[in-house]
Structures are given as structure tokens and as C-alpha cells.
Amino acid sequence: MAEINLFLIFLGSIGFDLLIGDPRFLIHPVQVIGFYIKKISYFLVNNFGDKKNILFWGGFTVAISTIGMSFGLGKLIELSYVQSSNHFFGGLLIFFGLSSCIATNGLISSVKEIAELIESKEINDQNKKIIKDKVQRIVSRDVSSSSIKHLLRSSTESLTENSVDGIFGPLFWIFIGIVFMKFSIYLPGPLSLGFSYKAISTLDSMIGYKYGYFRYLGFFSAKIEDIFTFVPSRLVLITLPLVSSKVNQYGLIIKKSYLDGKKYDSPNAGISESIFAYISGIKLGGKSKYKNEIIEKPIINETGDNCTEEKIKLICQLILRLQFLWIITFALIFCIISSLI
């Protein structure tokens, strides 16, 4: 019975995120996770910045402790909820906790806002600064000297890559947790896995880079994120064409997307960017500035169009359609498993 309630809470949390997003009156788990990562990382860099070995193992400690605490908090809430016979307050904590793990509303609205500003406003120095500030909040690259064309590409690449980290990755692991709880309440559940994946994603976005001291400090964080995002990114690859107008080119699009995605150092980011690029008909990749270093990313969909407001809106629609397909699929799988056990 508890797992049925958890599945219903899961569905409710998805709807809440789509309609409301993250309530401002609640502290978001990412804020707490980010504060912890930032403080420990700064301590390591400021005191041992030239000692690669200490940064390496310090980064391991940061990663394991962050994930461990996130998992432990989620598991504690799950056990409290189940052992209290599905107490309302415990269910409410799980509801808001699961909703905080999913970033559909926040991700889509922030990128849409940038696209609309670019398309509807006169591009003068003041408006361009506002647009750059908004783009900088969602990307790790330096966009201070970017053109409008590059700002649109940066926003689109963030949207396509983070759709897995912020939406489909959490959905996948939360559902796995619900299934686990059917077998035992002591197995990882939806909130413990949801919080863990959010911690992994936050670690990667804050320290999982491949330049400077991050090569050592963020090594484990980046590798762990690669492992836990591997399956969700491939599921997005094979399911996104099903909710698009290009379903009749299913095999060809998947093949092209996979081949282009493999050019990226990350085993997942390139895959997610590629499938969205081919479905929406846009070209991604090229030069980007990180700190003081120019990095040339592989080109995805060489013959695609430049990123525009219309293309961004199309990608947002695709994300919502795919999320709906995943929810229906999860519900069917859950019903089948429930009938067999």
C-alpha cells in the first residue's frame, strides 16, 4: 500500500512542479547541497590548491559525503512515512522533496524568457547586459563577450543537456526507488534516490570540470554523474523521436544523434544535445569560453539551422511531450509489477 501512495505522491509532485515550480517559501535542497560543496571546496582549494593528490582525495570525500547525506536524509523521511502508516506530514515532506528534484518549470521558463527577450526587445547595450546576466545563470561558460547568436546557442545547449540532468534523470531514479520499495522499505526509495541524484548533478555542475584544479577536485563527481546519467540519457535518445514529427525517421535520427553525441568528452551531454538538435533541426557546438580558455566543442547536426526563439519553443514542447510519455510508461510498468507481486 505504501508504494501505491508513493506513486500517487510522485505523480502529484510532477504536476506541482509543472504548474508552480519551486516555492519561494521553501529552502531548496540544491541551496543546502551547494552551500556545503562550496565551503568544503573553497577550503581545499585555498589551502591545498597546488597539491593534486590532496585535491583528488578531497574531491572524493566531498562527493561521497554529499551523496551520502542526501541519501540518508531521503531514506530517513521515507522510513518515517512508511512506519507511521503513511502519516500526512511525512507524505507532505516527500511530496515537496520529490517536486524539488524535478526542474521542468524552472528550466523551461528561464530559457523561454531569454529567447523572448532576444526576439522581442531592441538589442541595445542595456538589454544585451540583462540577457547576458540571465544566460550566465544557467550556463557554466563565460558569456560576457558573447554575440546574440552565441547566447541563443548557449541557452539551447543548456536546455537540451540539462533536460536530462534536471528532468529525465530524476524521473528515472525516483521511479526506480518506487519499484524498490515494493520489495522492501529498507531498499533505496524514491526520495533517497531523488535526493542522491540531485546531489550528484549539483556536484557535477559545481566542480565537475576538466580544467585547472577542477581536474582533480571534481574528478569523482564527474565520473559518478556520468554513471548515473548514462541510462536516462540513452532512454531520452530512443524515446524522444516517438513524440516528434520525425518518428518516421526513427532509426536514422537515432543513429546520427548517437554518432554525433559520441564526439563529446562527456558520454551523456553530447547524446542528449544531439537528439534534440536532430529532432528540432538545429546546429549545436562550436567555440565557447570557459574562464580564460576557449574550448571548441564538436559540431552537432552540421546542416542544421541556427538557434531561434521558435526552435527553443519547439524543444520545450518536446520536453513536455516526452515527460508525459514517460509518466504514462512508468504508470503502466508500475501496474504490471503490482499485478505480478
Residue 288's beta-bridge partner residues? 295
pLDDT tens-digit map of 47-79: 887 889 999 999 999 999 999 999 999 999 999
pLDDT tens-digit map of 223-275: 999 999 999 999 999 999 999 999 999 999 999 999 999 998 888 999 999 99
Angle at 313 between CA 309 and CA 319, to 5 degrees: 145
pLDDT tens-digit map of 134-164: 889 888 888 888 888 889 999 999 999 999 9
The amino acid that residue 216 corresponds to is Y
Quote the pTM value. Answer: 0.93
Taking a C-beta distance cutoff of 8 angstroms, is the pair 242, 253 a contact? no
C-alpha span between 185 and 175 (Å, rounded):
14
Q: Closest Cα partner for 329 from 188, 217, 117, 175?
A: 175
H helix or E strand, kind and range, residue 191: helix 190-207
pLDDT tens-digit map of 317-328: 999 999 999 999
pLDDT tens-digit map of 103-142: 999 999 999 988 888 877 667 777 788 888 988 988 888 8
The predicted pLDDT at position 96 comes to: 93
Taking a C-beta distance cutoff of 8 angstroms, is the pair 166, 17 a contact? no
